[in-house]
Amino acid sequence: MALLQIAEPGQSTDPHRHRLAVGIDLGTTNSLVATVRHSIPVVLADEEGRLLLPSIVQFNANGTTVVGYPAQKQQTIDARNTVVSVKRLMGRGMDDVEHIENMPYDFIDAPGMVQLRTAAGIRSPVEVSAEILKVLRARAEQSLGGDLVGAVITVPAYFDDAQRQATKDAARLAGLNVLRLLSEPTAAAVAYGLDHGAQGVYAVYDLGGGTFDISILRLTKGVFEVLATGGDSALGGDDFDHRVFCWLVERSRLLPLSAQDARLVMVKARDAKERLSVEPEVQVNAVLSTGELVDQTLTSPEFRQMTQALVQKTLAACRDALSDADLSNSQIDGIVMVGGATRMPHVRQAVGAFFGQTPLTNIDPDTVVALGAAIQANLLAGNRAAGDDWLLLDVIPLSLGLETMGGLVEKIIERNSTIPVARAQEFTTFKDGQTAIALHVVQGERELVSDCRSLVRFELRGLPPMVAGAAKVRVSFQVDADGLLDVTALEVNSGVQASVVVKPSYGLADEDITRMLQDSFGAVDADIRARLLRDQQVDAQRLLEATKAALATDADLLSPDEQSNVNELVAALSAQADGDDAAAIKRSVDALALATDEFAARRMDRSIRSALAGRRVDDLAAVVGGSD
């Protein structure tokens, strides 16, 4: 029996109201949407019963957009306007994308992230991804019969800040409320771990279409703790296709290929790779638009040999992750295989040989990530049932640092730090009278700035002139639970401050997203204002409910003065909450939120004390050998 009755955070105040939430696996090759129905995670199918949505988007001159299977049919006919594997372009500049010369698109070298010139106009990878997400959102809303509270979107564990931010922007552009960005291997571990009641240390080997992740997790009673993660955000099944593609071009002595023919040969290469998972050798035949013929036989050993270097690259990442987790491969209790590319027998064999045990392949590598995301979304949305309680502790995959003199990187937050995480470091000026400091935030493991990814540059201006070395500039990094970074710089003596939420330099500002949303919905001004007002009213109601619930249990944490202040603000907000002045509601919401900040902190402290006290009682019970 608990001495203090504290409202369980995260639990719905109305236990009968099920909030609609989904998990989305936004994959390089295929995407899926899943939800939890009657406590069971399920992938939602389209009208024809298909679970997968090919991540392919075709843009037409008449402005229409085709997504999925119909677009897939067009990919060899209209290659230039039909975008496949867009995930490889997310948050990436022209120079970052491997094999870009083999992609049949009309690229524009935009700062921060490439763009594509299509028949329907210029599109960024964020917009292309948003088209895929819109289809999944519509599928979910139709299937579940209502508006979604939000979605958990999965990203490769090894995605950097720019790639994560781009993914989040795409989701918002698709009108989705992002509950959390979740690492794909972590999602797989959740689905596998909860389903099998797994305990111990697990490795998740996730080889997708365009990305590779390795994550090492410890599963202990209700807690999934990522110990280390590693990988390559530009290595996946596509690269195996590409090796076959090059082999076909060379063997068939093909002339330089048109966009159409390049796509055709690529499709044939992929098909050959997939068939080799079940057949010892395959025939590859094609007739190109030039009349040239492709007629080759590819055997399993040949395929294995031409892709061996790729497999070795994944094993090197496994070795690094184990070393970061301070574990040897014999300490791993199981290896979960995720991603369609793990169907290749030689990948399974190599992983088995590396870890000295047979990998677990009794799960569907295509759906497990989406199912894990759905389970997490269900929990975050507040549909938690009593006893059905667990927690995820994830890490940041790549170190974050600042450029210092001589193009070197000073690491502020080390890779594999558990998030959320904050760390600060002090810097100083190097010239007399210097009144500004330029800060360059980078992500990566290398010592030279030029070998790391540039995230953002900003300046701290208005410093009072001081002699060199006298200024004390404290730079603080805060990474949130989505793995996204926020940087603040403060000159300690003068109090001059500057801060940025790190936005990759392609810079989709909030206003851009709002504008794009408006464009896409073709909404008129009045609709938007009505929606804004409704959002404010919902916000106000939520805050009022939460505050009243908090007061009911923990009012004793406030002094009489503080209590009457909160009561006044509650009354003020109650009076306005149903009114039609959105601005006034917002002002009252902000005022009450500010006044309850400290209250929230005290309640947090009390809940910790109570939980720790409960734990001691449990320990005691365990020692005595009794239970309830």
**Interacting residues toward other proteins by CB under 8 A:** 9-10, 19, 149-150, 179-180, 220, 222-223, 225, 379-382, 389, 391-393, 417-422, 478, 480-481, 542-543, 546-547, 593-594, 596-602, 604-605, 607-609, 611-613, 615-616
Smallest distance, other proteins to C-beta of residue 554, A: 13
- Residues 6+ positions from 280 with CB-CB distance below 8 Å: 299, 300
Smallest distance, other proteins to C-beta of residue 543, A: 5
Smallest distance, other proteins to C-beta of residue 323, A: 9
- Residue 117 one-letter amino acid: R
Smallest distance, other proteins to C-beta of residue 351, A: 19
- Alpha helices (runs of H) in 432-559, residue ranges in sequence order: 510-521, 525-554
- Of 78, 131, 161, 184, the active-site residue reads 184
| DSSP for 544-559, written as a single string | HHHHHHHHHHHGGGS-
Cα 300 from Cα 282, distance rounded (Å)? 8
- Residues 6+ positions from 196 with CB-CB distance below 8 Å: none
CA 319 from centroid of its chain's CA atoms: 24
Nearer to other proteins, 581 or 619 (CB): 619
**How many Cα atoms sit within 13 Å of 133 on the Cβ side?**
31
Nearer to other proteins, 51 or 546 (CB): 546
Question: Among this protein's residues, is 87 annotated catalytic?
Answer: yes
Helix (H) or strand (E) holding 265: helix 259-276
Nearer to other proteins, 526 or 623 (CB): 623
Smallest distance, other proteins to C-beta of residue 264, A: 40
Question: Taking the CA atoms of the chain, what radius of gyration do you get in angstroms?
Answer: 27
Nearer to other proteins, 510 or 605 (CB): 605
Smallest distance, other proteins to C-beta of residue 562, A: 12
Cα 501 from Cα 161, distance rounded (Å)? 11
- Of 46, 78, 87, 394, the active-site residue reads 87
SS3 267: helix
Nearer to other proteins, 161 or 261 (CB): 161
Question: Among this protein's residues, is 25 annotated catalytic?
Answer: yes
Q: Which two tokens stand for residue 277?
A: 């998972």
- Residue 91 one-letter amino acid: G
Nearer to other proteins, 163 or 596 (CB): 596
Q: Which residues pair with 84 in a beta bridge?
A: 56
- Of 25, 131, 169, 394, the active-site residue reads 25
- Residues 6+ positions from 424 with CB-CB distance below 8 Å: 412, 474, 475, 476, 477
Smallest distance, other proteins to C-beta of residue 139, A: 23
- Residues 6+ positions from 148 with CB-CB distance below 8 Å: 20, 21, 22, 137, 140, 141, 176, 177
Nearer to other proteins, 255 or 621 (CB): 621
Indicate if the alpha-carbon torsion angle 91, 451, 95, 25 is positive or negative: negative
Indicate if the alpha-carbon torsion angle 452, 455, 457, 460 is positive or negative: negative
Nearer to other proteins, 61 or 601 (CB): 601
Q: Which residues pair with 526 in a beta bridge?
A: none
Cα 367 from Cα 377, distance rounded (Å)? 15
Nearer to other proteins, 12 or 258 (CB): 12
- Residue 523 one-letter amino acid: A
Q: Which two tokens stand for residue 134?
A: 């819109």
Question: Among this protein's residues, is 619 annotated catalytic?
Answer: no
CB neighbourhood size of 482 (10 A): 21
> In 300-420, which ranges are E strands?
334-338, 391-393, 400-404, 408-413
- Of 46, 78, 161, 206, the active-site residue reads 206
Smallest distance, other proteins to C-beta of residue 627, A: 17
Question: Among this protein's residues, is 8 annotated catalytic?
Answer: no
Cα 90 from Cα 94, distance rounded (Å)? 11
**Residue 37, CA distances (Å) to 9, 19, 177 in order:** 22, 11, 20
Cα 497 from Cα 437, distance rounded (Å)? 11
Smallest distance, other proteins to C-beta of residue 443, A: 19
Catalytic residues: 25, 87, 184, 206
